[in-house]
Each structure stands twice: as structure tokens, then as C-alpha cells.
A and B are shown apart, each in its own frame.
Chain A
Amino acid sequence: MSLPVMPRETSGSEPVAAKVAEQGGRSNPFLLMPITLFFALLSIAVLRTPSLMTASGIGAAIIVVTPLILATYTLMASTIAGRGTVDLSVGPLIGFINVTMIQLHAAGALENPIPVFLYCMAVGAAYQFIFALIVIYVRVQPIIVSLSGYLALSGINLVILPRPGGVAPPFMAEWGYGTSIFSPVLIILVLATVAWLLFTATAFYTHLRLMGSDERAAYTSGVPITIVRIGAHLISGCFAGLASICFTALISSGDPSQGTTYTLIAVTALVLGGASLAGGRGGVFGSALGALNLYMITFVLSSFNFGSVQSFVTNLAYGAILVISLLLTLLIPVIQRHIRNFSPLLYFVSLGVVVFGIALHATFDYTSLGEAPAYMPGPMDIQAALTKPLEIATLTPETLALRAEAMPFVFFTILLAVLAVFLRLAFAQASRRSLGPAVAVVVTALVLGGAWVMHEGGIAPATEVVR
């Protein structure tokens, strides 16, 4: 099969022309690292704590990780714009929206969801708008603007709400339980992700990436850089608003001092996800994976019991993994020389199938298979040793029922793999990049469908018992 060979960057020193020709980051080798790390961590996590794979386990994970993912999206949108825009103020900004929302709610305003959403996104967008105006017209380095914002916002947060407390709007009360996968928080996350994916189909996004890679080239080729920068920051502000809603749902109250933690973790997640802090490269897939990876590191480490040094070990692991994964990005040019046509999507799906098998293995309810034959040490019978493994599964009615129940699931997995391969091929043949979002939407829908099947009791008996 002869795939059209796309021009791609070779050394990373002059990426602009290659990137523009590449169109839309279809094969971003920087995703190799986060995907591998994600599945490695996921399989360890599943083997260590099988209860992660229950509806409540996944639900809790989603509730905890969503604010982090959205905070990373916030950073990503403005980081792509270039000039080294690493928005250190993202944590305090989320905190600011959180505490003002809590206080306004306490004062009687902001009862209904719609005003709350509008308020949060408007405040985030307004802050980022001012940020963009300062960067554009005062022409100070963005990192100084964000440092300034960090100090000012974390100060004013403590003024508005001196200590953690307050009550979230009542409609959020049930969001933070995390007992089911399909919580409103997940819907927010999915909508935000889809919105960004749709946004990547626009010309505006191309302009944004061009500006992030090389602002001078963008300016000379007629890109309205002022408008593009403001637009990127507005998007970033909307993400910040959503992040703070999810954060509020998570803690159900106000907390003025989460700023530092969120900033540091979000920056780490952004880099782990393969984005470039210099601008021009980054996306929701990588950012979400980066944030998920950080959560997984904490989760996996908490499954080993280190006792009183737990948080120190977590810190050590954060730092070490961050530095190592950065060092591994140095290998990417080498890998690229050998793998010409790396597809993150296909890689993700194939690893996903493997880890899915591991998850099934870890969570499968072996005791429900009936009495296992007792192991008898004795003279080894060659015949028995060969056939015994095959004979273990005597087909009891329960097994048959279990098989029938697992059928849609297996079918779905195969379908997913086939579809992914098919789409990948179609994708490689078509030179229209507007397929990209459509593919992502379809795959997301499939994954959601699978989760739905699980939720509705596809393999529920197997997992219930383990829990």
C-alpha cells in the first residue's frame, strides 16, 4: 500500500513550513510519550486496584481529573499563541472565579445553572481579554503579565474568602459524588473537548498555530495577529470558567488557596502532554492525556502504601517522571527516522485494546466460574497438563450467561479496532483535513457508547463482586 508521504519536520529547528504543510497535526509524534505513559500507568493501576474499573471508580476519577484537564486546556489555548505564554495565573484565576461565585451565591445571586455558567465563563474571558490586551499593546513579556496576575489574584482571593468555606449553588450538590460515569461534569468535559476539536477545523486555528510557530511569518503573510491572539485568550478564558465550575463541583465550596498547586500541576500536565511551551504545538488530546497521567501517577502511588512519606514519594515521582519524559522527547527525532507514518489514534486504539484485555483480566470474577479443581501435586500427566487448561472452563449456565453478557463488549472492541484501522486508512488517503474532527467525534461517540454498555450492566456482575 502506498501512502502519500507527507512532508514532515526532520530536525525541529525549522518547523514552520513543515507544520503548515502537515496541516492540523495529523501525525504528531510528540503524542507517543503521553500515550505510552498513560497505558502503562493505567495497566498498573488496574492490576493494583481493580476497583478503578467500576462505575464509581471511573466516576470518581472523572470528577477529580476534570478540573485539572480543563485547567490544562486553559493553559494550552493561550500557550499555542506563542511568545512563551505560560499562563502562571491559571490556578489563582480558577480560584478567583470559584470564590467570587461562592460569595455571590451566598449573597443571593447566581442560583440557576445558566447564570452561573455565563458568569464563570464571562469572568474568565474578561480576565484573559485584559491579559491579551496587555500583551499586545503594552508589549510586556507574557510570563511577567501572568506572574503579576498570579500574585494579584492569589492575594485578592484571600481577601474575598479568607479561609475555605461557603456553599456551592444547590444544583451542583450532586455533581461531586462521582458515583456514576455519566455525571454532568463529564458532559462539560466532552463538550469542551468537542468544541476545541471543531475549532481546529477553522481557518482561525490555522492562523493561531502559524502565529504561535512564527509570529513574524504570520504577520508578513497577512494574519491579523491582534485578533488571533485575543481570540486565543478568550477561548482560554472560557475554559478557565468551565474548569472553575468543575472545581467548585468537586469541592462543593470555596477554596482561595488552591492556586499554586493548580498552576504547577497544569503546567506539568501541559508539558507531559507533548505541547511546546514556545508555542504552535499542542492539543486537547495531549493535554487531557497529560492531566490524566498526573492523576494516574498519584493514583498508582497511593495504591502502594508508603505510610507517612506518601506525599513525598508522590512529589519525587512527579518530578522524576516529568524530567524523564522531557528527556525522552529528545529521542523523538530518532524515532521519527524509523517510523515514518506514526498515527497517534491507531497507536492509542491498539494499546487501548491491550490494556482493555489487562483490565478484563484484573476485574474478571473468577470465583463465579464455580469450584476450581483443587491442585494436586503428584506425578505429572503429560496428557492432562496439555488438555487441562482447556477443560477448566466447563460451560456452566452462569458462564454462558456471562458470555452472552460480555458479547456486545467484545463485539464493540473489535468494531473499534476495525473502525480505527479503516478510518486511519481513509484519513491517510484523503487530503482533506476536515475529516479530523469527524473522526474524533465518531471515536468519542463509540467510546461513550462502550462506557454506556458497561454502565447499563454489560459486565456489571463481574465488577460488582470485586468491589
Chain B
Amino acid sequence: MEKLPQIGLPARILGLVIAILLAGLGAGFGFAQGMAVQVVILSAIATLALTVWAWRYVIGQFVETETIVADGPSPLRLAWLQYRWPLIGLALVLAAFLLLSLTIPRFFNIWNVLSLIILLAILVLTRTLGRQFQQNRSAFIGIMVLAGLFSVGSMNIEGFASGNNIKSMLLFASFLGIASIGQTLVALLGGLDLSIPFIIGGANVGLLYLIGLGVPPWLATIIVLLIGTIFGVINGLLSYRLQGQALIVTLGTGFAISGGVQIVTSIGSAYSGNVFGTVPPWLANISAMNGTTFGLPFPPVILVWALIALILIVGLRTTVYGRYLYALGVNRTSASRVMISEMRYWVIMYALSGFFAALTGGLLLGWSGGGFIGVGDQYLFLTLAAVVVGGTSLLGGAGGYGFTVIGVLVLQVLSSFLVGIGLDFKWQQFIFGLLILPMVALYARSPHIRTQI
């Protein structure tokens, strides 16, 4: 991380004043709406801290941006030349909005206008501030999109910002987030793991099958996690041997795992592919919507995800293992010259991927209460999408789990938003597809071929 730029004392005081004002405003609104005192105080403190941090970080970027006006065409023309495309884009967005408000009755209301303003503000901020963030541009864009989506959603949709909805969003985000851990780690090496959904499905069915056989649930969980890890190790060995074929190797092992698990579970069972059993209450509590964590009303899986995320983010940044991982992803030849065992990292990362996929499968069993082999199917491309939207390069070496967390949250909030405005799964998928491309294009364009020679 680069050194934070210094800003002057007056600017700091101004920032502090603005932050206090914002926090006070939030607290006032909170009390006016009759929310719990703890919640109001917490959010006020969060607002304060975030504003102070953002102020320091953002304003600092402008300290040395004194531009020298060059001789040449008139300033107006210069501005036009410089901001041609943004201006055209702006005009297009405005025209689209005008068209929509003219054609659809009741479209032109205060909330939609506000949404438009927020959208434009995000675009402008992304344009202007985005270039200041060389390192974490995708994270910045992701956070902007997240903030925009959330504010637009809470304005337009009844109950979008309610505690329950946020809880459910976080719940589903933690499933996707835990499933994406492996994908992120493997992508950092330059590989892919498409066996994740199949391991999720296999673990889901297998765990219930073992419980149904009479194995104690804690032992069954350990067995399933262990088997998932072993599959991961196999994936790692195969992908390492067959360099560049990771996509197809993991797909193959995935097919085999899903088929094998189903054969095992349906031997001696009259209902092929369906497994029956009772999920133990503690497992149901972990990932159920109405679960409690140490008496607090949110499912423990969110806490689990947060902890794993924290460990991974810090671990990837600071530990030697994390740095070696990046080294391998950036340049494997030079990494192996400095005695980093390539094979070891491939195997470990794929093993972790298998472990977390199996964990997701177990958690999903707690959520749904019944085993189903296809439970992971939607994660086939969704984990990939989360990694890519977050900004981890699939070529390896760039990104990290923090980015993936942002990607997961963006996908989750977006899908919740789309559900809220009444679009069902197929439309969601369509819009996901259309959004991934521009989001990736904002930060992950490869250089032109002529610059690579």
C-alpha cells in the first residue's frame, strides 16, 4: 500500500467537522425513525470513522494535482477534447432517462430522479477519482457500485434496508463468499476450479447420508470436510501436471465426484439420488435465517465468513505464504528460481478450495434441511463471476480475497435489488451477464499487442 498523502491542518479540521455533522444527521434520522439506541450509536460511530478515513484518503489525492494550462486551443475546446466520451455518455444517459419518463407513466418521480443523480455521481466519481487509485481501482469501483446500488435500492424498494433483508443478503453472501474462497486462491495462481459446485453438491448429499447412517454429526462433518480436501488435493496434483488445462481437469473431476457420491449414496436406497435424514439442530442454527450467535440475532455463518475473510485478507498480505502465492502467480519461473515449491502451492490452494467447497455444502445443508446434489449448480459460474467482478485477475498474481468479498457483496446486493424491483431469476441472470463485462472492462483490460513486443 502506498503512503498516505499528507493534508494540511485546516483541511483536517474541515473533514472532522463534516464527519461529525454527517454522523449527527444520521443519529437524528435514526432517533426520528424510532430505532434502537444501540443501532443508532453504532451507525453514527461507523459514519464518523468512515468519513474521516475517506476524507483523509480522497482529499489527499488532490493535494498535488496542480495542472499547468498549456497554450493551444481555447479552454472550452480543450475540455471538450478531454471529456468527449464522458460527455457523450452523460448525454446518452440523460436521453435514456428522458425517454423512459416520457413513455412510462409515473416513472418521473422524486425517487427515480434521486436514483439518477446517485448513478451519475457514481459515474463521475469513478471517472475522476478512479484514476487516483492505481492499486485498488477495482475495489474502489466495487465499493462505489455497492454504495450506489444500496442507496438506490433502499430508496425505491420497501424494506430493502430493513434489518431482515440485510441479514438475508449477508446470509446468502456468506455462502457465496465461502464458496469463492477457493476460486480466489486458485485464480491467484493462474488456475481455475470448476469442481467447486460438484463438491458442494457432493458434500451436501454426503453429509446427510452419513448422518442418516447413524454417524455422529460432528464426525460426519469432519469426514466430509476431509474428503473434500482430498478431492482438492487430487485436483491440485492433476492441474499442476496438466498445466493450462485446469478448466477441463477440474470439470472432469467434478463430474466424477458428483457421479461417484451419488452412486455411493444410492446403493441400497430405493430413492436414487434422494437422501433422507435429520439435520442436527446446531447445524441448522449455524446457517438458518433465524439462527443466533451467542444470543445475538444473526446466523453464525456470517460471523464465520467474516472471520475467514479477515484471516485470509491479512494472511495474504502479511504472511510469507501469501507473498509466495502472489510471487508464483506473477511469474512462476522466477518464483521457482527462488526456491518456492510450485507444486506445493498448487496442491495447497486446490486443497483449500476443496475444503471450503465441502464446508459450503455442509452449511447449505443446514440452511435447506434436505440433501440435494444440484444445490451447488448455480455456483459454477457465480464464484467465477464474484472473483472477476471483484477484480482478481484470472491470469494470476493480482487481486486478493478482499476484492472477492466486494464482488460477492455487489452480486448479492444487485440480485436482491433485482428481486426487489420484481425481476425473477432469468432477468437477474441476463443483467448479471451484461454487467460483468463493463465492470471488468473498467479495470482489467490487457494491453495492446504492440506494447507486448
Residues of A within 8 A of B (CB): 86, 88, 134, 138-141, 143-145, 147-159, 162, 215-216, 219-220, 225, 260, 264, 267-268, 271, 277-278, 307-309, 312-320, 322-323, 326-327, 329-330
Contact = CB atoms under 8 A, between A and B. Distances in A.
Nearest to A211: B449
Contacts, number: 169
Given A140-B440, A216-B449, A147 B388 contact: yes
Contacts of B384: 147
Interface of B: 238, 241-242, 244-245, 247-249, 251-260, 262-263, 266-267, 272-273, 377, 380-381, 384-385, 388, 394-395, 425-434, 436-437, 440-441, 444-450, 452-453
Contact of A141 (B381, B446, B447, B452): B446
Most B CB contacts (10 A, CB to CB) among A144, A314, A317, A320 go to A144
Contact of B252 (A143, A219, A323): A323
Contact of B238 (A88, A143, A220, A327): A327
Nearest to A312: B262
B430 A152 contact: yes
A223 to B, nearest CB: 11
Contacts of B385: 147, 151
Contact of B432 (A143, A151, A313, A326): A151
A197 B437 CA distance: 34
A440 B248 CA distance: 30
B263 A322 contact: no
A154 B449 CA distance: 32
The 9 tightest CB contacts between A and B, nearest first, are A152-B433, A319-B256, A155-B430, A315-B259, A151-B433, A316-B259, A319-B255, A155-B429, A308-B272
A138 B238 CA distance: 33
Secondary structure of the B side of the interface? helix
A219 B449 CA distance: 8
A327 B427 CA distance: 40
A152 B428 CA distance: 9
A80 to B, nearest CB: 15
30 contacts: A134-B437, A138-B441, A139-B445, A140-B446, A141-B444, A144-B437, A148-B433, A151-B433, A152-B429, A154-B426, A154-B429, A155-B427, A155-B429, A155-B432, A155-B433, A159-B427, A216-B449, A260-B380, A267-B247, A268-B252, A277-B247, A277-B248, A308-B266, A314-B259, A316-B260, A316-B263, A317-B259, A319-B251, A319-B253, A323-B238
A143 B377 CA distance: 19
Given A148-B437, A151-B433, A318 B448 contact: no
Given A155-B426, A277-B245, A318-B255, A139 B433 contact: no
B97 to A, nearest CB: 23
Contacts of A314: 259
Given A151-B429, A152-B433, A159-B427, A313 B245 contact: no
Contact of B255 (A86, A151, A152, A316): A316
B436 A144 contact: yes
Nearest to A217: B453
Contact of A326 (B252, B258, B259, B430): B252
A327 B242 CA distance: 7
Given A145-B437, A148-B437, A330-B241, A322 B252 contact: yes
Nearest to A257: B426
B394 A141 contact: yes
Contacts of A158: 425-426, 429
Contacts of B388: 144, 147
Contact of A219 (B254, B441, B450): B450
A155 B256 contact: no
Nearest to B449: A219
Contact of B449 (A155, A215, A260, A309): A215
A154 B450 CA distance: 36
Contacts of A147: 381, 384-385, 388, 433, 436
B78 to A, nearest CB: 26
Contacts of B395: 141
Nearest to A278: B244
Contacts of A215: 449
A315 B374 CA distance: 13
B244 A313 contact: no
Nearest to B453: A216
Nearest to A143: B394
Given A145-B437, A219-B449, A313-B259, A156 B430 contact: yes
Contact of A312 (B248, B266, B394): B266
A317 B252 CA distance: 9
B257 A319 contact: yes
A323 B429 contact: no
Contacts of A216: 449, 452-453
Contacts of B453: 216, 219-220
Contacts of A86: 247
A268 B251 contact: yes
A87 to B, nearest CB: 12
A322 B194 CA distance: 14
Nearest to B373: A312
B262 A315 contact: yes
Contacts of B450: 219
Nearest to A323: B252
A322 B248 contact: yes
A225 B394 CA distance: 23
B251 A144 contact: no
Contacts of B251: 264, 267-268, 319, 322
Contacts of A162: 426
Nearest to B380: A260
Nearest to A325: B252
Contact of B430 (A134, A143, A151, A316): A151
Contacts of B377: 260
A318 B437 contact: no
A150 B449 CA distance: 27
Contacts of B267: 309
Given A150-B381, A150-B433, A219-B453, A144 B248 contact: no
A368 B432 CA distance: 64
Given A141-B440, A151-B436, A316-B260, 13 more contacts: A139-B446, A151-B381, A151-B432, A154-B429, A155-B425, A156-B430, A308-B266, A316-B255, A316-B263, A317-B259, A318-B256, A320-B256, A322-B251
Contacts of A320: 252, 256
B421 to A, nearest CB: 15
B440 A330 contact: no
A134 B446 CA distance: 12
Contacts of B266: 308-309, 312
A144 B394 contact: yes
Contacts of A277: 244-245, 247-248
Contacts of A151: 381, 385, 429-430, 432-433, 436
Nearest to A162: B426
Contacts of A157: 426
A89 to B, nearest CB: 9
Nearest to B431: A155
A86 B248 CA distance: 10
B19 to A, nearest CB: 38
A346 B149 CA distance: 62
A271 B252 CA distance: 11
A86 B251 CA distance: 13
Contacts of A152: 429-430, 432-434
Contacts of B252: 268, 318-320, 322-323, 326
Contacts of A313: 259, 263
Given A147-B388, A151-B436, A308-B266, A323 B259 contact: no
A309 B254 CA distance: 17
Contacts of B431: 155
A309 B437 contact: no
Given A140-B441, A330-B242, A323 B394 contact: no
A157 B433 CA distance: 13
A365 to B, nearest CB: 38
